[in-house]
Amino acid sequence: MDLLRSLPIGLYLEKPETWLHKLDARVKLIWLMSFLATPLLANPYWRLSLVGVLIILTLSAAIPLRVWKQQMGLLMFLCILVFLITLIAPDGLAVNYQARLPLGEILPPSTDYQYVLFEKGRILITRRSLDLSVRISTLLFTLVYSSNLYLLTTAPEEITTGLERLMQPLEKLKIPITEIILTLTLSLRFIPLVLEEIQNLIRSIRTRAINWKKLGLKKSFNLWLLVAERLLENLLRRAEQIALAMDVRGFTSPNEHRVQWHQFKLDWGDGLAMGILVFFWYARIVFGGMIS
User: Is the per-residue pLDDT at 103 higher than 70?
Assistant: no
Strand stretches in 73-196, DSSP E? 116-120, 123-126
Q: Which amino acid is at 145?
A: Y
Question: Would the pLDDT of 97 be above 50?
Answer: no
Q: What is the average pLDDT across 54-62?
A: 87
Q: What is the mean pLDDT of residues 105-127?
A: 70
pLDDT above 70 for 96: no
User: Comparing C-alpha atoms, which of 150, 145, 151 is closest to residue 54?
Assistant: 145
- The upper half-sphere exposure of residue 264, i.e. CA atoms within 13 Å in the direction of its Cβ, equals 19
Higher pLDDT, 291 or 139: 139
Residue 126 has pLDDT above 90, yes or no: no
**Strand 123-126 relative to strand 116-120, pairing:** antiparallel
The predicted structure's pLDDT at residue 177:
78
Share of the chain above pLDDT 90, in %: 14
Spatial CB neighbours of 113, under 8 Å, sequence gap ≥ 6: none
Concatenate the DSSP letters of all residues of 146-213 into one string. Answer: HHHHHHHHS-HHHHHHHHHHHTGGGGGGT--HHHHHHHHHHHHHHHHHHHHHHHHHHHHHHHTT--HH
Q: Which pLDDT belongs to residue 100?
A: 55
Q: What is the mean pLDDT of residues 30-50?
A: 90
Give me the residue spans of the domains in the chain. Answer: 1-92+116-155+265-292, 175-261
**Neighbouring-strand partners of residue 124:** 119
pTM above 0.85, yes or no: no
Among residues 50, 67, 56, 52, the alpha carbon closest in space to that of 10 is found at: 67
Q: What is the pLDDT of residues 155-181, one digit of tens each?
A: 877 888 888 788 888 878 888 777 777
25 has a pLDDT exceeding 50: yes
Average pLDDT over residues 59-81: 81
Cβ atoms of 28 and 220 closer than 8 Å: no
Residue 100: φ, ψ to 5°:
-80, -20
Provide mean pLDDT across the span 138-155. 88
Q: Which residue has the higher pLDDT, 92 or 204?
A: 204
Output phi, psi for 126, to 5 deg: -115, 170
Neighbours of 270 (CB within 10 A): 17
pLDDT value of residue 288: 82
Q: What does DSSP assign to residue 98? A: -
At residue 57, does pLDDT exceed 80?
yes
* The predicted structure's pLDDT at residue 261: 56
Which range, of 22-26, 79-83, 105-109, 250-254, averages the lowest pLDDT? 105-109
Q: Nearest to residue 70, comparing CAs of 23, 9, 134, 127?
A: 9
- Confidence at residue 35, expressed as pLDDT on a 0 to 100 scale: 93
Q: Are 150 and 36 in contact (CB under 8 A)?
A: no
Q: Which amino acid is present at 253?
A: S
Q: How far apart are CA 39 and CA 146, in angstroms?
A: 12
Per the model's pLDDT, the better-predicted residue between 107 and 245 turns out to be: 245
First to last CA, the chain: 51
Q: Of 39, 69, 71, 73, which Cα lies nearest the Cα of 53?
A: 39
Closest to 72 measured CA to CA, from 189, 152, 16: 152
Per DSSP, the chain holds a count of helices (H) and strands (E) of 10, 2
Average pLDDT over residues 86-112: 60
